[in-house]
Amino acid sequence: MAEVIEEDIEAAKCKEEQGIDCKQNTMVSVTDITSYMYCPRTLYVRKVLGYEEPPNKAMVLGSIRHSFYDLANKHEERIVARMPSGFTREEIIAAYLETYQNLLRVAAVNRANSLAQFDLDPFSVISELKPAAIAEAKERAENVFSFASRQNIFGEELWQELSPKILSELKIKSAALRLKGVVDKVELYKDALLPIELKTGKMARDGVWPGHRIQVAAYMMMLQEKFGMPVTKAVINYLDHNCTRTVVMNPYMGLEVKRLTEDVIRLLNSRTTPKPCGRERCACES
């Protein structure tokens, strides 16, 4: 791949040569920042030279998962508002389970053509993703039941007063920060927000990995701008270790996010391929 990159680098034209102010028009994905922190060369090859990985099963399943959570966010109000006064825990869980399993079927069937490319049928994918949909339904149902029991309110009033509301895979962006991203989960309270990131794999011995810290810092900044309320901390849930770590926002993290955003924008508008990062497990030289 190295020879191909060097051959193509002269063909990678900066938008500035076309009369476009790149610095003002570039929106940076938060995952681009974390990729840059790991290896600038790999990010450059993928984003500037266009060497994207071909679609694979994981990508298709990820798109179905995103679609399901988007539908879940949109339909939750209807579930809560239609529940009868004095509903039981079993009734609210059943209502969520029925709706969310239907939504998962919709999300999978809508991607049937993409699944067919990998000899997958929607029903096998539904079976594979069903445990996550059930877990999501039960978590949200328990949240609603607990709040309704404490406040003794139901119907539309319950939905309006519900705290926290849980939003999964929330898409956010900020023109001012020139950032965009998708937050795994957000707990929306009356006067505050708590973003939650779900991670698999190794966990740092102390604290969190630098890329994870910057990722949630960027999300906190965008969420505070979007909702106009304080976002002072985030939680990272390391699923494989059944452990959560809290990241508390501070001004220095905000400055670091802005600096890294500028660094990524400069990289994406450059015509010089970065040198290999030297990491043993990085494929930037392959």
Does residue 95 have a pLDDT over 90? yes
- Interatomic CA distance for residues 197 and 257, integer angstroms: 17
Domains, the chain: 1-50+164-273 (3.90.320.10), 57-162 (no CATH)
Q: Rounded to two decimals, what is the model's pTM?
A: 0.81
The pLDDT of 196-223, averaged and rounded, is: 94
CB 187 within 8 A of CB 196: yes
Distance between alpha carbon 81 and the CA centroid of its chain, in Å? Answer: 27
Query: Which residues are registered as beta bridge partners of 195?
Result: 186
Helix H or strand E segment including 130: helix 122-151
CB 187 within 8 A of CB 194: yes
Which of 6-10, 120-124, 134-138 has the lowest average pLDDT?
6-10
What pLDDT, in 10s, does the model give residues 66-78? 899 999 999 999 9
- Interatomic CA distance for residues 60 and 20, integer angstroms: 34
